[in-house]
Structure 1
Amino acid sequence: MVVSGLPQRNGQAHATQVADMALELLKSVGSFSIPHLPGLSLCVRIGVHSGPCAAGVLGNKMPRYCLFGDTVNMASRIQSTSRPCRIHVSESTVNLLKAMQSGHIFEERGSIELKGRGSVATFWLVGKEDVEMSLPDPPKIEQVSNTRDTFEQMILSIKRRGDSSSERSLPEHLGELGWTCPSTDLE
């Protein structure tokens, strides 16, 4: 989770800062190659929402900076209903960015159902005016299915190797990294 405008307030600039960061993050992920999974690309789902929230440090032994409030819940729901390699944005953020004339470019996604909110209008953030940006294409349904199939094949391969030892090794290219998979996790 990322937040802008806390602990020092920055007016409406938080929306621009987070939108710009989301675009840069998605651009960077598009060129990232997963070393131990050749042929598979990293996809992230990004959700952006703007609104009031409370923040503070909680804990004595392991203090953590935490965010609270309805805005945090809404941001989480916007992110979880996003799609791979997409930036899902709430209407409140779009309104702020348009009011600031930030130059961000949106496509209407349409209304989606959010738990506790009902039907909510949302948008995709797809770029910024006058900024050359090469964002990754969202994967097609077939690609998502192929990725799932690849992982299922890896798991089946591990199960088939079954020996009586307490640990089973992953396929060679993963085992070389020192990864192991306890047999109890596979049964």
Structure 2
Amino acid sequence: MVSEPLRPSICGSDLQDVPPTMLHLIRDCWSEKPEERPKMETVRGVLKAMHHGGNLMDHVFTMVEEYANNLEGEIEIRTRELVEEKKKSDILLNRMLPKQVAEKLKLGQSVSPESFESVTVFFSDVVKFTNLASRCTPLQVVNLLNDLYTMFDTIIDEHNVYKVETIGDGYLCVSGLPHRNGNEHARDIAEMSFSFLKNLETFRPVVAGVVGLSMPRYCLFGDTVNTASRMESNGKPGRIHISAETNRYLTEIIGGYRTESRGEVIIKVSLYNKGY
């Protein structure tokens, strides 16, 4: 169903005293297509030609023109501000959630839980962090973690790895989700781990910053996460501890990596996993 535009009739005996030029001008101004409507300068020029000399209408149109120009400028400023705020919101949302998930949420789409068959999960923590924190002021602890996590975040940007969360001195990230990357997830985590160790050699614990978030997170669940957590808790300081499955990916499927067996690690009660 198409509705007719609401326009008053400008034909009839009541308009016989109206100059044809004025009728044409009115029809042009009422055009359904904005690009076909005359600009304010054109309207003013036509009216001036019809009414020689300055009069009240000139003053009225001058005021209307100034108002229109000011309004356009104000709209432009507000539009720029809106674009900037949207950029800030997008940056914040992309820090909280994977880009693919954030885009769906912005479109109002629901994000259903998804199962990933092959990923590599990374856990790390600061050795004897509790003892270290007890000897430092709260601000020193915050500065230490900020410096550490800023370095980690910079390194992660160079690899196909997604940072899931930080809890205290614990750092959790994963490769192979939400973007599947075949068998490359083991290599990505391994290379990232080497970069972590290399940069920790020059690590210094004093910078200013803010650590701590209160926001929704993209969470991981499953035995793979539990296995990674046990590998981290049973690891040695300054060493990269991996499971038997990750070792198989690095040495047999991908190749080019040398590992050393560490024996069996307790994953659950009465359940052991060989570590490297």
Identify the structure with the greater helix proportion. Answer: 2
| TM-score when normalising by structure 2 | 0.34
> Relative contact order, CA 8 A, sep 6+: which one is greater?
1
Greater C-alpha radius of gyration = 2
| TM-score when normalising by structure 1 | 0.49
